[in-house]
Amino acid sequence: MKLPPGDLSRQRAKVRARSAGALLAITVLALLLRGWGLHGTGFTADEVDELHSAHAPLVSIVLDDDEDRFPPLYRTLVALWMRALGTDLASRWFNVVCGVTAVVVVFFAGRELLGRRAAWAPALLLACSPYHIHYCREGRAYALFVLLIAAAFWGALRSIRAGGIAGWCVLTLASAAAVWTHYYAVPIVGVMWLVVGSAALLRRQWKPLAAATGCLLILVAPTALLLQRAMGDYSKGTLVAEFDVEAWGYMLANQALGFSAGPSMVELRSLPAAEGIRLFVPWVAALAVVWSVLGIAALARLGRSWQLLLLLATAVAVVPVLGIAGNVIGVGFVDRYAAWLCVPYALLLGAGASLCRRSWAIQAALFTLLAINGYAVYQARTNPRYALEDFRAVANELNRLADEQEAVLVASPHMAQALAYYLPEQRTYDWFPIFAEKSDEREARIAEFLGNRENGERYWIVSQWLPRDDTRRETRDGALRQLGAELRAELNQAEIYQAVK
């Protein structure tokens, strides 16, 4: 029965009000989960590296004069943010803001996908995602990367549903900004454009597609030159992690577990693959049931549509193709380079969760997934088993063990920079490289360090914890044996040794 115009208007107003209320509640939840106790731990080595780079002159940052292989958008924005707020602590808050904004953007993407009434579901899943929370609580580029990919999904879903200039503009600008944030945006952006472009061509909408594609190519063209220069200047030793089925499964499981349920990252790096899989079996079994229920519901909700193809292609196909290609060309696979995976994950499972009023099974699956998410977030904050790098804690322990005048030798310049950030100015420190190919430099630096010590003088050595299969482990252990080092403390993925000249 058709409602009178007045009743229809009131009903729409109620839907808008409930939708706005849901968005507000989910946004507050996302902020609390990402911002609560944000600086309870110190910076990691990678965060300190980002801080040093962000303190460079702005012109140097924009021109990407540093030695890493990342485009300059994130560093430019965080440098401006830190200058405005006047503290290094602001770097993590920038990522919290990016993370919360990503949840809001996914709400609007969900509205394009599912309608206003059901937009809460994908946003809630992203808000509670321990995987997304993990990357939003560190001062690196990944929260911004996820935000921009979320905006690209919003534009893509709007373009598929309604066409029009707004969707194409959002998709184009977000895609370009994502590439300017991380070069690994290219594969995910490419797949999104392939799906959206195919849908547009079948609808004979080739003009907006051609215009948007041309604009995108113009916007991202300079990044090719920056990448070429970065690869030419890059001289650091590298580690290559091969992509395999276990790596893919671990990444999928962490969409719900967030590195803080089951074996920790440190434990997994010490265990045989079969043992690590065995310890994950209870979690994987529970998630398999939950994902099956929500996945089947998502298929029923979306049917045979371009939207479903977009989500399946990005959630299921891109990472394996990326990993296998990385193996073939010799660069391996780094899971954080696909941190965006939480966005199609939330949209796809959110489509299934939006039908929770129709089925007790879907309600149970959604409740179970949120309970697992909550457990993982709680463990990450409270259980030392899942502690991440914390150079403030390492420096405090070193200051407790060592006298003020005793020098420190650090295994790797990357860690030395991070430790020096927290060490008192009066403490002398130096470093040596631990990549095998830098043996001459290592011997020279150790000899110079020892040359400045008196016989019988005690000094300290700090090293990152390394698993036995790490190619740097043998080199580092050889240096420690040469120096007669004795292990004194282990904490937060770091080791502190004592030695005497």
Q: Quick one: average pLDDT of 362-383?
A: 97
pLDDT at res. 260: 94
What are the pLDDT digits (tens) for 219-249? 999 998 888 877 765 555 566 788 888 889 9
- Confidence tier at 10 by pLDDT (50, 70, 90): confident
Structure token pair of residue 367: 């409740």
Q: Quick one: average pLDDT of 29-52?
A: 95
User: Which residue reads 């577990």 in tokens?
Assistant: 257
- Tell me the C-alpha distance between 317 and 147, whole Å: 21
Q: Quick one: average pLDDT of 180-209?
A: 94
What are the pLDDT digits (tens) for 321-364? 999 998 998 888 888 999 999 999 999 999 999 999 999 999 99
Q: Measure CA of the first residue to CA of the last residue in the chain; give whole Å.
A: 91
pLDDT, greater one: 438 or 331 = 438
User: Which residue reads 């729409």 in tokens?
Assistant: 12
CA angle 385, 93, 45 (to 5 degrees): 50
pLDDT at res. 57: 92
Taking CA atoms, 468 is separated from 268, 440, 464, 473, in Å, by 12, 23, 13, 6
Q: Are strands 494-500 and 486-491 parallel, antiparallel or unpaired?
A: antiparallel
Q: Find all residues with CB under 8 Å of 321, minimum gap 6, and list them.
A: 187
Closest among 267, 51, 216 to 140, alpha carbons compared: 51
pLDDT above 70 for 288: yes
Residues of the chain above pLDDT 70, percent: 96
pLDDT at res. 425: 87
What are the pLDDT digits (tens) for 453-496? 999 999 999 999 998 888 899 999 999 999 999 999 998 889 99
Closest among 379, 347, 293 to 125, alpha carbons compared: 347
Burial class (CB in 10 A: 0-12, 13-18, 19+), 99: buried
Structure token pair of residue 463: 């090293």
pLDDT above 80 for 80: yes
Residue-wise burial string across 440-461, b where 16 or more C-beta atoms lie within 10 A, e elsewhere: eebeebbeebbeebeeeeebbb
- Confidence tier at 85 by pLDDT (50, 70, 90): very high
Taking CA atoms, 170 is separated from 154, 183, 216, 281, 363, in Å, by 8, 19, 11, 41, 33
CATH number of 391-500: 3.30.110
Angle of helix 90-114 versus helix 5-35 axis, rounded to 10: 150
pLDDT above 70 for 126: yes
pLDDT above 70 for 374: yes
Residue ranges of the chain assigned to CATH 3.30.110: 391-500
- Average pLDDT for the chain: 92
